[in-house]
Structure 1
Amino acid sequence: MSATTRLSVGDPAPAFTLPDAQDNAVSLSDYAGRKVIVYFYPAAATPGCTKQACDFRDNLAELNDSGIDVVGISPDKPAKLAKFVADEGLTFPLLSDPEKKVLTEWGAFGEKKMYGKTVTGVIRSTFLVDENGTIAAAQYNVRATGHVAKLRRDLSV
């Protein structure tokens, strides 16, 4: 299996258009002129992913006040995302990428270590895309817990 291509600071952010929890198309270009955090997570309604999504929800006002939007992407279908949004009161878009095309383009799908074994799956990753559509921060293999607090420190938010 080949190594996953990873994005780096300064790379153009790969464009995407994916359905959200209500099956509405959301594109990266919708955020042109604003900063946006794009984060990739393995599965809605799992313990780590719930913790991470709730951390983003709980810090969204401060991020938005700093001119930063948040978008989450997973391989889950829109119906599962809709239930997750409703159950957790999430207030930012979650997008569905069941074919893992966008996940792969962003380097967030591929080989990873899990419990000491090499497996293929979603690599929990977070990116900051600047107002011009360029990668301003790229973090792979992030932890679900404490990640948003670290991100806020890194971004001085």
Structure 2
Amino acid sequence: MVHPLIGKSAPSFELPGADGETYTLTPGSKGVPVALFFYPKSGSYGCTKEACQFRDALAEKDLFKRTKVEIVGVSSDPVDKQKEFVEKQKLTYPVLSDAKGEVRKAYHVGKGLFGLAETARVTFIIDSKGTVRDVLDTTLNYSAHAKFVSKWLDKLEAEEKKVAAPSGAPAAAEPTEDTAAPEGPTAAELGRAAEAVEA
């Protein structure tokens, strides 16, 4: 079943963060993609693994740094539980408390594990204009979420490059953009490098 928010503007919201401060998320306002992930419980095995995978991706993956993706985690845990979770796992992005379930409702996030988990594990990828592009809903497969975000950041970055490319190019050349040479030195640069080596 297709999620009702795909292709629509992502709802803005305010929630208390782990530091007790109110965090406002207005998708599209900063002109960067947003990965918003809802998870069942701070401190549980799968949720800890998932949260740490996002933390590590932000620190180590060029794609996450280049796209300036905003990662935001949300669960129904109270602020003090979120604070403990963030400090223990050294999380570097906002982790918010949706104790009343209002944001889960706005994003159509239901219960997980056939109703056994208060919140399903659901990740939303929102583009730089604030539109929900895709949703991954899998409570058990916690490791799929960071990979899902990576795949989408790659796609969004390619789209941005396409838009930034000069529009005067002939229409026939368009399909070749997907098969463009990988990033790196151009043929001319390689030629110059080869000449330098020979010299």
Q: Give TM class, smaller chain.
A: 0.7 to 0.9
Gaps of 5+ in 2: 158-199
Matched, 1:59 2:57: yes
Give the aligned partner of residue 15 of structure 1.
12
CA distance in 2, matches of 1:87, 1:97: 20
Larger radius of gyration: 2
Q: CA RMSD in A?
A: 2.2
Matched, 1:72 2:69: no
User: Cα deviations across residues 7-53 of structure 1 (Å, max 9, x unaligned)?
Assistant: 34211111110010011111112761221100000110000000000
CA distance in 2, matches of 1:78, 1:41: 15
Give the aligned partner of residue 39 of structure 2.
41
Give the aligned partner of residue 108 of structure 1.
109
- The alpha-carbon distance between structure 1 residues 154 and 132, as it changes in their structure 2 partners (threshold 3 A), is closer
Report if the CA contact (8 A) 1:75-1:100 is conserved.
yes
Gaps of 5+ in 1: none
Report the alpha carbon displacement of residue 107 of structure 1 after superposing the two structures with TM. 1.5
User: Cα deviations across residues 69-104 of structure 1 (Å, max 9, x unaligned)?
Assistant: 100000011111111011111100000000011012
Task: Select 1:141's aligned residue among 121, 138, 148.
Answer: 138
Specify the SS of the correspondent of 1:72.
strand
Report the alpha carbon displacement of residue 66 of structure 1 after superposing the two structures with TM. 1.8
- The alpha-carbon distance between structure 1 residues 151 and 133, as it changes in their structure 2 partners (threshold 3 A), is closer
Letter of the 2:85 counterpart: F
Letter of the 2:71 counterpart: V
Give the aligned partner of residue 129 of structure 1.
126
Q: Which has the higher contact order (CA 8 A, sep 6+)?
A: 1
TM-score calculated relative to the size of structure 2: 0.68
Identity score, percent? 31
Question: Paired residues, what number?
Answer: 149
Structure 1: 4+ residue segments shifted above 3 A: 5-8, 117-120
CA distance in 1, matches of 2:81, 2:117: 22
Structure number with the higher helix fraction is: 2
Structure number with the higher strand fraction is: 1
CA distance in 1, matches of 2:17, 2:98: 9
- The alpha-carbon distance between structure 1 residues 58 and 25, as it changes in their structure 2 partners (threshold 3 A), is same
Give the aligned partner of residue 94 of structure 2.
93
TM-score calculated relative to the size of structure 1: 0.84
